[in-house]
Each structure stands twice: as structure tokens, then as C-alpha cells.
Amino acid sequence: MNLTPSPLVLLSPDCTRVLRTENGERAQLDDVAAERLRTRQSGVPVSVDALDVELIEAGLLVVDDLSDALVEQRRARTRHRRTSKGQLVVMPTERCDLRCTYCYETFERGGMAPELVAGLQTYLIDAVSRHDRFDLAWFGGEPLLQFTTVRDVSRTFRQAAEARGIDHVISMTTNGHRLTRSRAEQLDGLIDVYQITLDGPRVVHDSRRVNIRGGGTYDRILANVETLLQCSTSEVTLRINMDPSNESESDKIIAWIRDDLRVRFHSFLERIDIHIVATWDASTTSIDGICLRDAGLARGWLSVREAESAMRGSSIEEDLAQTMSTPGSRSCYAASPHSYVIGADGRAFKCSVAFDLDENHVGQLHADGTLTVDEDRERLWIGETSESDPVCGRCSFSTACEGSFCPLVRIQTGQRPCPTEKTFAPQILDRSILHGNARYVSIPTETITTRGGSTR
Ligand code: SF4
Ligand code: SF4
């Protein structure tokens, strides 16, 4: 009988801490149990004894056949989640009133034509009748430059989704610059979640997120966020982009979260989420641009995340547990078979970044509400996931990532696009990443156990 750590469990580097990805539970193990897990992980043959039985009963060790069954069960759940949910990310305009220093948009196309807006509404009404869940996400360009389209289409979609009784969320990624009280009030009850970027305190934000004349935008956006929280019931995700150009400012960002945001928004903390996005090289979509492997940079990023977790009364380990146990929480919509990004001219894409890539242009939304799709191109995005990749299937991060953190990386490099959190998850579990001295941390590779033993 070959025993191996369960593919549904994350182990800290020394195996003294475990996290179950089925429910997010964490546990501390004694030295004897940890030593046995290390032995089983290494594949060294040891005869089975009472300690192994205890670890099997605790769900930490499994026999080969059960390990395969657990992987298949998780794949079936992933398949159901991916196929029952639909999503449309819509760019009502590709123009924007800011010129952020790291932005990749080319601002080529203006507002969506009225006949296409009508087609979009027809498509959405039909889509809610075909799914258990469907989300609408406004994106851009700056969607508030097409305020009436956003308001009217959101209303049509909400009415159709409520009439069918399906789960749905309407969100908007906006720079917040034009989010006046009047607009916020008109959109109350229509936009459930706003994602607004504030890249840190005024001095950091204003060096990166500038208006067309190059002026700072911090004060106006922050005031608009405050008004939004006061006059609506919407939730707000504040996005902080971190890359090598502002990583050295992480101490300032931590102090800003603790001393400014937390105080300013103390009555609204339940409706605010801070999303720290590590973009390690905005000029490339290669794996090195998207996934952070440098432990020194990771410490800065994780320290900011730790401050954000503390602001919500949580901790970085609790957030890791939540992420790892939430199906699809780190999977990109581009890998979903019923998810498209619709440009202002009706072109349909899978990815909301690589608009110049031919493979990303997979179809067209028409004025009559139909969507034509090139299935060969679409297969590039949805074909390689944890359902087909054997390493992803056995990865403890697979519940969250589904092998689809960034399908673009897979397409361009052929490598698995493991998110930064997965790379450092074992160290986060015992916090050694925050307190250790290592500059570079090797990427943990999943152990694939075969009947002949263990291979890396
Ligand atoms: S495929 Fe990658 S780059 Fe494109 S939207 Fe998804 S995560 Fe972003
Ligand atoms: S891409 Fe990486 S993190 Fe995601 S499931 Fe595959 S091995 Fe795990």
C-alpha cells in the first residue's frame, strides 16, 4: 500500500502545519506526525503503522486509489462550476480620461453604437435563460464615459436575471474620476461591486495614475469613493497595483492602509475589500511578468497584504485559507467556456489584456443579439485546465486556480501559470516567508505519486 499526502491538503515546508482545501481548516501537527508526513512526502518506503492510520483518518494521508478518486471528484466539481456559470465583460468604450503610467490600452475605439447596445441587451436577456449564474462586468476604457449605456443595460440585465431568479452580480471597474454623487445615486441598486484603483498614498498614487494633462487624481478619486460609500449600498474593492516601480514604497502603502484608509472608512469596513495585485512587469504577459518568484519582492507584497488583512480583522493565513478553499477564486474568466470580453465595436475576446493578439479575437457580437465564435481559437483558452493537466489535477492550489490563473501565460509559454500565492503558500502557512532571510525561494513542484514511488 502506497501512502501519500492528500492532494487536497497544503503542507508547510516542515509539515508542522496543514491546511485543508475542502473547507479552509488549518491545523498544527506535533513533531512525530510532521516527521511521518515528511517521510511519506519523500516517498521513502516505510511499513504502515498506527500513526499512518491516524493520519489517514485525519484526511492528511491517502492511499493511491483514493488520491485518484479525490482528484476526479474535484475535477467534476470544477467542470460543473465552469460550465454552469456565464459572464460578459463589456467595454462600452475603449477611451479613458486618465493616462496611468503602466496602462496597456490604446484608446482606439469610442463609445458603443446604439444598435450594438440593443444587441447587447438582447444577448444578455437570452444568456440569463441559459445559465444558473451569470455575471455582468463593466470594463474599459473608462465605462463612466458611457454612463447611460452602463445604467440602462445594467437595469435591463438585472430585471431579466431577477425574473429568472438566477444568481448574478453586476460589477464595474472604473477609475472613479467621474463617479459623482449623482451618478453613484443613479447606479445604486444596479452596480453591486465597484473596483477602483488607488495605488497607495497621494504621493505614490499621483506619480502613477494621472489625468490627461499629467495632474494627480488622488484627492478627487478618494472623495468620490467616500461619497459612493455614503450614498449607495454597493461594495467597493480598492485595487492596489504593485510592481517593481512602487515595491520600494511598500512601507508607505502599509502605513496608508493602517493610518489613513482604516480611519477614514471605519464605518464602511464591511463593504470595502482591498485587492493587492502583483504585476511584476506590466510590459510583458510572460510568466515572469505575471507570477512573482523573487522572495524579496514577495515579502514586500505580502507585508502590504498583511496590513490589509489586519484592517479587516483577518490575517494573511486566514485569507490564504479562504482563497484556497473557494472554488475558482484564482481562476481567470478567460478559461471559462461561457465568458467573453466584448469590445466597443462588438468584437469578442477571451482575455481583457492581450487585445492585439490574433488568438484572443474569438468572435463577434452582432446587433441582433447573436454571438458568433471561432471554436478553434476559443479552445486555446479553455482547453488546458486542471481537468486535463495531470500536475494541476493533483495540486493543492487547484481548487482556487483550476490550472487557469492566466491562460495567456499557458498559450504563450506552455508553462503552468501558478499564481504568486501558490508559489509561496507553504511559507505563508507558517509565515516563514515574512520572517525568513532567503532572497530566492525555489518554486515548489507538486509531487506526483506513482505505483513505483515518488517523482518530482
Ligand atoms: S488570460 Fe491572463 S492576462 Fe488575460 S485576463 Fe486572464 S489573467 Fe489577465
Ligand atoms: S497552474 Fe500551478 S497553481 Fe494552478 S493548479 Fe496548476 S500547478 Fe496548481
The domain total for the chain is 1
pLDDT value at residue 314: 84
Query: How many A from CA of 230 to the centre of ligand 1?
Result: 33
Q: Quick: pLDDT tens for 80-108.
A: 988 889 999 999 998 888 888 877 666 67
pLDDT band for 44, please (50, 70, 90 cuts): confident
Residue 264 pLDDT > 60, yes or no?
Answer: yes
Query: How many A from CA of 100 to the centre of ligand 2?
Result: 31
Query: How many A from CA of 388 to the centre of ligand 2?
Result: 12
Average pLDDT over residues 394-406: 94
Residue 14: inside a domain: no
| SS3 assignment, position 349 | strand
Torsion (CA) 237, 242, 245, 249 in degrees, nearest 10: 80
Residue 42: inside a domain: no
- The residue among 394, 397, 387 whose CA lies nearest residue 421 is 397
Residue 54 pLDDT > 50, yes or no?
Answer: yes
Q: Quick: pLDDT tens for 311-366.
A: 778 888 888 999 999 999 999 999 999 999 999 999 999 999 888 899 999 999 99
pLDDT value at residue 288: 56
CA gap 146, 124 in Å, rounded? 18
Q: Quick: pLDDT tens for 352-370.
A: 988 889 999 999 999 999 9
Domain containing 354 equals 85-375
| Residue with CA nearest ligand 2 atom 7 | 392
Lowest model confidence (mean pLDDT) among 176-180, 228-232, 269-273: 269-273
pLDDT value at residue 283: 57
Residue 171: inside a domain: yes
Residue 302: inside a domain: yes
Residue 202: inside a domain: yes
86 by Cβ neighbours in 10 Å (0-12 / 13-18 / 19+) ranks as buried
What does the block give as the cell for 350? 477571451
Q: How many Å is the Cα radius of gyration of the chain?
A: 23
pLDDT value at residue 189: 95
Query: How many A from CA of 203 to the centre of ligand 1?
Result: 29
**pTM of the full structure:** 0.86
pLDDT > 70: percent of the chain = 88
| Residue with CA nearest ligand 1 atom 3 | 353
pLDDT value at residue 306: 83
Lowest model confidence (mean pLDDT) among 42-51, 246-255, 419-428: 246-255
Q: List pocket residues of ligand 2, CB cut-off 6 Å.
A: 386, 391-392, 395, 397-398, 401, 403, 405, 416-418, 422, 446
Q: Quick: pLDDT tens for 197-224.
A: 888 889 888 888 888 888 999 999 999 9
Which ligand neighbours the alpha carbon of 285 most closely? Answer: 1
Average pLDDT over residues 65-79: 90
Residue 438 pLDDT > 50, yes or no?
Answer: no
Residue 395 Cα: closest atom of ligand 2: 8
Residue 398 Cα: closest atom of ligand 2: 5
| Residues 260-290: b if buried by 16+ CB within 10 A, e if exposed | ebbeebeeeeebbebebebbbebeebebebb
Residue 365: inside a domain: yes
Query: How many A from CA of 105 to the centre of ligand 2?
Result: 28
| Residue with CA nearest ligand 2 atom 2 | 418
Q: List pocket residues of ligand 1, CB cut-off 6 Å.
A: 285, 332, 334, 351-353, 406-408
How high is the mean pLDDT of the chain?
86
Average pLDDT over residues 30-47: 90
Lowest model confidence (mean pLDDT) among 164-168, 222-226, 295-299: 295-299
Which ligand neighbours the alpha carbon of 381 most closely? Answer: 1
The residues that bridge with 348 in the sheet, in sequence order, are 342, 363
Residue 119: inside a domain: yes
Residue 452: inside a domain: no
Residue that is written with C-alpha cell 476604457 in the block: 141
**Residue 49 parent element (H or E):** none
CA gap 136, 168 in Å, rounded? 8
CA gap 101, 214 in Å, rounded? 10
Q: What is the CATH number of the domain that holds 362?
A: 3.20.20.70
pLDDT value at residue 153: 98
